[in-house]
Chain A
Amino acid sequence: MRAVATATAPAFTRRLARSRVRRWAGSGLTYLGLAAALVFFLGPFFWIVTTSLKGNEDFFSFPPRWIPLEPSLAHYERLFTKASGLRYFGNSLLVSTLSMFAALVVSLPTAYSIARWRFGGGALSTVLLVLRMLPAIALIIPVYLMYRAFGLTNSYLGLILLYTVVYIPFAVWLLVGFLRDFPVEIEEAALIDGCTRLKALIRVVVPIIAPGLAVVALFAFIATWNEFLFAVVLTGIETKTMMVLVTSFTSGGTDMFYGEASASVVLGVLPAFAVAFALQRYLVKGLALGGTKG
């Protein structure tokens, strides 16, 4: 017995050691993979951020200067003072925020009526989704002509209206899923307690499906912030958005404005990043919630 125990102990230890090594190797490879993915995805952004803080002489220095010796906000300053950056940043913020709220305000009752009373039959939500599948390039000329006829080009109202209409189908489709998941009994209890439909929707349903609304808001905000095609065609000097400014710096043959171009990219990304960060606690929950039905 003792001999057996003595014989098995080293084998067990060896197995344990092997398993530990395997586990460490597994973890090591996982972390290595994650690190590689991080470098791959965040590397370009890191480069853009540092370039926006570098002096002109460092853009092409060899070996590359990863971290600027004397970081400066001069490119940001020039972006705001010389290139209408402040105006376009403000325009993007205004249009994205208002489009986001407008999309929420319109899509919530639409989704509610589809989820509760099958408004429009089963086809409406599908038709809405099909509308979303139309590529923007197919719409741009007719939209432009219509807008010009109505005097909506180069206006905030025109942009907000368009983005709201464009994002409503997706928002409705997402919210219908959340609302169908929502236990109708809670809503009925509220009605029995004396709430009207509208009050029940606002005071009972909305707080519970808040994660779903956050997802819709986030998608609407980011999509509007990053949208380029409609923005470049339908805007004028007064209403240009940040993405158009970014492209004005990054397209066309000179490297003399890399600093301003990088600063515009950083500023172009930050608000969407901030909104995503602010809403992140709802995001995973909201995505999981809406995923069960739809």
Chain B
Amino acid sequence: MKRFWVLVAAVAVVAGFVVAAEVPLGGRTAGAARPYEGTTIRAVVNAEYVKYSLSLVEKDLYDKLGIKLDIEVIPLDAFVAKTLLEFNGGKSPWDLVMFGPSNMPDYGRHFEPLEPWISKLKLDFQMDDIPDVYKKLMLRHNQKIVSMPYDGDIHIMFWNKVAFERPENKKKFKAKYGRDLAPPQTFKQWDELAEFFNGWGWDGSDKKLFGAGASYKPSSSGYSYHWWRARFFAYGGMYFDQNMKPLINGPAAVRALEEMVRTMPYYPPGVLLFESEEPKTLLIKGEVPMLYSWTSTGKRVGNPSESVIAGKAGFGIVPGAEIDGKVIHRPALTPGRAMAVSIYSQKKEATMKVLEFISLPEQSLKIVMDPKTIMDPWRISHLRADKFRKAFPGAGEYLDAIEKSFPYVVPDPVIPGANEYQRKLSFEITEALAKRKSPKDALDSAAVEWEKITDRRGREKQRGMWGEKLHEMKQVGIEYQPDWAAKAK
């Protein structure tokens, strides 16, 4: 009996030790693994698919930090007005804010600078893994980093290899143009190819297929403007001079638009109403042989369940112009998306941790790889990740094309009212494409509208902001070249 009680006592002592050791240990483990347990961060984004993209990292975020996200979706068309209405009133219901970096001048003062928090919390945003164009042009306000990229959003070129590799097509092209059939390097070649491919079955069918794809709708996102500016900048154009005089009706601008008007017959009917998805669908259904568009197109191109060109697609840099024997490329860096911490947030520390977490290479890779998100890669490591490079046939070539494009991309005019400038210009470009105005008249009208916007926003203030942007653009090699419009081949 005595032995029994000794045994019981020993078991109780051991159990007590185990419990005593386990409970605090467990508690500490949970505490260490989830240091912000019970915290909910309120985020705002502009579409359901962006909310979906955050859901891809939500579980890991909770497991690692104990933070949950409550995400508000404000529809795209109302997003800027509604969020700025809240911010300009001096508060915000959100901690984490998604925004278009082109609107940084309007949003920037409402965002918390990152550097003090980087030192305080030992955050690591792995800035060396981010291309210069984002670091120098898109993430800063008043020279301070206030945001991190979320969606890369640049244009690259896609083509259907069937169109370019069929022996009959090669022979026919050589006979007509005297050179080999190959994906275009310049817009002159692009236009020739669009003319060549338009109106016949270049895939071997008896269908009347189209010459090329594009999005020319003059919506608030300014599709026609994005398609025009790749030519405009390749011909040496620039938005304004240093005194805020618009340069969008100069020789480079007019030449770019004249070419687009002239080649309109080679594009599918309805191109003036196309937003981003319609030409992508035409490309993956094998109805247009080439398209330049957002990089997210590549994920659809490589998806065999919807794409007839999966494994048969080529990827490259958007065409440019040959200047003095060298091809200059100027693909568009369109608004994209970035994330920032609201200066009015009551949970800045936890929100900074969330921003760091969703920007980590492995977490952001999940977001940019998922074909449903249309979020584009923005880290160098995204482009070199084995997982991504094996995600679909041709993925490596696709990611290489993005990496090659980064050094040449041109951003929107990142000054206050960027959206207004773009919308007016896009409207006038589409007026010319619809042949309701001549290219010169349309661009002159746009320039007049730009002057009005500048005056309304305050010419001196705008000139100051634009001066900074001109300087930053010069740093990444983007400058006004008035003589290129005449030289460009």
Partner of A232, one of B70, B75, B373: B75
Q: Distance in Å from the Cβ of B315 to the closest Cβ of chain A? A: 20
User: Is A255 in contact with chain B by the CB < 8 A criterion?
Assistant: yes
> 1/0 contact trace for B188-206 toward A, CB 8 Å?
0000000000000000000
- B76, CB-defined interface residue at 8 Å: yes
Question: What number of B residues sit within 8 Å (CB to CB) of A?
Answer: 34
Residues of B within 8 A of A82 (CB): 52, 55
The answer for the CA separation of A187 and B371 in the assembled complex, in Å, is 68
CB pair B48 A237 closer than 8 Å? no
Residue B46 at the chain A interface, CB threshold 8 Å: yes
B300–chain A nearest beta-carbon distance, Å: 9
Contact, CB under 8 Å: A252 / B372: no
Give the total number of A-B pairs whose CB atoms are below 8 A apart: 81
Nearest CB on A from B223, distance (A):
9
- A256-B372 in contact (CB<8A): yes
User: Besides A247-B75, A256-B49, 20 other CB < 8 A contacts?
Assistant: A60-B306, A62-B285, A141-B85, A154-B93, A232-B74, A232-B78, A233-B85, A237-B42, A237-B71, A237-B93, A244-B73, A245-B73, A247-B77, A248-B47, A251-B47, A252-B76, A254-B372, A255-B281, A257-B52, A260-B48
A255: nearest chain-B partner, CB-CB: B277
- B39-92 residues with Cβ-Cβ distance < 8 A to A are 42, 46-49, 51-52, 55, 70-78, 82, 85, 89
> Is A26 on the interface with B (CB-CB < 8 A)?
no
Q: How far is the CB of B115 from chain A (nearest CB, A)?
A: 30
Closest approach, in angstroms, between the C-beta of B81 and any C-beta of chain A? Answer: 8
Q: CB-CB < 8 A to B276: which residues of A? A: 253-254
A-B contact pairs, 6 of them (CB 8 A): A57-B305, A60-B281, A237-B42, A244-B74, A247-B78, A260-B48
Assess whether B51 is in contact with A252, with CB atoms less than 8 Å apart.
no
Among B73, B285, B296, B305, which residue has the most Cβ atoms of chain A within 10 A? B73
Choose among A57, A60, A254, A257 the residue with the greatest number of B CB atoms under 10 Å from its CB: A254
Any chain A CB within 8 A of the CB of B137? no
What is the CB-to-nearest-CB distance from B32 to chain A, in angstroms, rounded to a whole number?
30
The 9 closest A-B pairs by CB, nearest first: A247-B75, A252-B47, A252-B76, A253-B276, A248-B73, A237-B72, A251-B76, A256-B372, A255-B277
Select from chain B the residue with minimum beta-carbon distance to A145.
Answer: B89
Q: Contacts A148-B89, A233-B85, A248-B75 hold; do A83 and B49 have CB atoms under 8 A apart? A: no
Q: Does B275 contact A (CB under 8 A)?
A: yes
When each residue 370-400 of chain B gets 1 if its CB lies under 8 Å from chain A and 0 otherwise, what string results? Answer: 0111100000000000000000000000000
Contact with B along A72-101 (1 / 0, CB 8 A): 000000000011000000000000000000
